[in-house]
Amino acid sequence: MSSELIEVSNLEIRRGAFSLEIDQWSLGPGEVVGLVGPNGAGKTTFLERLAGLRGSRAGKVSVLGRDPRVDPSVREELGFMSDDMPLFTLRIGVLLRMLSGYYPNWDAGLVETLVEKFKLDPGDKVHKLSKGQGTRLRLITAMAFRPRILLLDEPATGLDVMGRRTLLGSVLDIVRDPERSVIISSHMLADVERVADRLLVLDQGRLIREGRTDSLVGESRSLEEALLDWGAAG
Amino acid sequence: MRDWEIRISEASGVPYYRQIVDQIGQLVRSGHLAPGEKLPSVRELAAELLVSLITTRRAYAELENAGLIIRRQGYGSFVAEEIERASHEQALKKVREDLDELIHTARRMGLENAEMRKLFEELIAGEEKDHEQ
């Protein structure tokens, strides 16, 4: 079996007039990959396909050897967080206790640490949270069961500086285990550049750049400037 | 508990790996990091500084090339013993390689040995004069 955690080949997804096509791409163990590109590039579509939340017209997606669209059991090892993911109308503490029952690997210690670091009150009602508080709660629920693969779609929405630092620390904490990996899609380009070992750059549904962050971006410019140079800023 | 820390500045414009190299280099040269002392692993340091694994890996590779740290497979990274000697030897090796290449170029371009020696002496003398001023 391949050591890659995710393998994508000849992928084609259609959504109305939009199409996303990726010939070949893979995610290795122990790495952080930054997924960047302008609005409408297909970043969310790609992550949703990897998580098995949408299908594809053609091609192959293999996550830990299985396609999550065909075999949802792989989702037990796959964390997915997006900034518009719905949350139940419960108190934070009740929601977290309820979710813990679904996951054998639920790490109550990690949840407690993150609730404290993110300054959340377990007694607060979920539907009354601010945007940033909601983001933090979604992050906790995506990380709490210590998935092998964590997919983060705009995880920094509404986070302040300290919240973003906690987020980056949590991401890098995950890859302290060389068997686990993270894909982070974010408009916070300086943050992505800071923590991502590799980049995957999408523009209008096409993979336009892929490779090590340092060799793609270089020393004399920032990721933001690099995206402008590639015509993929938005 | 460690009594040293590295501070990463986003605003300085200096690449993160370079900031790590410079600061660890400084800690080693000043003796804050003692010869033989174990350094955090690449993954630990990355999580602590909030920088990527490749950034940290690259910094450690540069420190190793400079003779400041030694990596032992399966054991981790340590501050090099006898830093002075290691770095001096590295410097000698590097200059020797560069000179060797220059000599080859000079020969190809038809320069005589005597001319090269004279040029070398002149340049060293000039450098010495510059330093005295």
Highest mean pLDDT among A87-96, B5-14, B16-25 belongs to B16-25
Between CA A224 and CA A168 the distance in angstroms is 18
In sequence order, the β-bridge partners of residue A15 are: A18
pLDDT at B22 over 60: yes
pLDDT for A14 equals 95
Q: Do A197 and B52 touch (CB under 8 A)?
A: yes
Q: Do B52 and A219 touch (CB under 8 A)?
A: no
Question: Measuring CA to CA, how many Å separate A204 from each of A43, A156, A229, A232, B130?
Answer: 10, 23, 16, 9, 58
Contact A27, A181 (CB under 8 A): yes
The interface pTM score, or ipTM, of the predicted complex is 0.87
Token code pair at residue A163: 């919240």
Matching CATH number, A6-84+144-229, of 3.40.50.300, 3.40.50.1820, 3.40.630.10, 3.20.20.70? 3.40.50.300
pLDDT at B123 over 90: no
pLDDT for A25 equals 97
Q: What is the CA radius of gyration of chain B?
A: 20
* Sequence ranges of the domains in chain A: 6-84+144-229
B19–chain A nearest CA distance, Å = 13
Question: Model confidence over A16-69: pLDDT tens digits?
Answer: 999 999 999 999 999 999 999 999 999 999 999 999 999 999 999 999 999 999
Q: For tokens 């630092």, name the residue.
A: A165
pLDDT for B129 equals 65
* Sequence ranges of the domains in chain B: 16-81, 84-132
In chain B, which residues touch A (CB < 8 A)? 10, 15-17, 43-44, 46-47, 50-55, 58
Chain A residues in contact with B15 by the CB 8 A cut-off are 219
pLDDT for A198 equals 98
pLDDT for A102 equals 81
Q: What is the DSSP letter of A126?
A: G
Both ends of chain B: CA-CA distance in Å? Answer: 47
Apex A96 CA angle, A71 and A49, nearest 5:
30
Q: What is the DSSP letter of A124?
A: S
Q: Of A6, A26, A9, A13, nearest to A74 (Cα)?
A: A6
Residues of chain A with pLDDT under 50: none
A32, A166, A171, A172: best to mutate for the B interface, most B CBs within 10 A: A172
pLDDT for A98 equals 85
Q: What are phi and psi of A214, to 5 degrees?
A: -65, -40
Task: Convert B27-79 into a string of H (helix), E (strand) and C (coil).
Answer: HHHCCCCCCCCECCCHHHHHHHHCCCHHHHHHHHHHHHHCCCEEEECCCEEEE
Q: Do B50 and A165 touch (CB under 8 A)?
A: yes
pLDDT for B131 equals 56
Both ends of chain A: CA-CA distance in Å? Answer: 39
What are the counts of helices (DSSP H) followed by strands (DSSP E) for chain A?
8, 9
Q: Do A197 and B51 touch (CB under 8 A)?
A: no
Matching CATH number, B16-81, of 2.30.110.10, 3.40.1400.10, 3.40.50.300, 1.10.10.10? 1.10.10.10
pLDDT for A81 equals 92
Q: Who has greater pLDDT, A233 or B70?
A: B70
Statement: the pTM of the whole predicted model exceeds 0.90: no
pLDDT for B73 equals 84
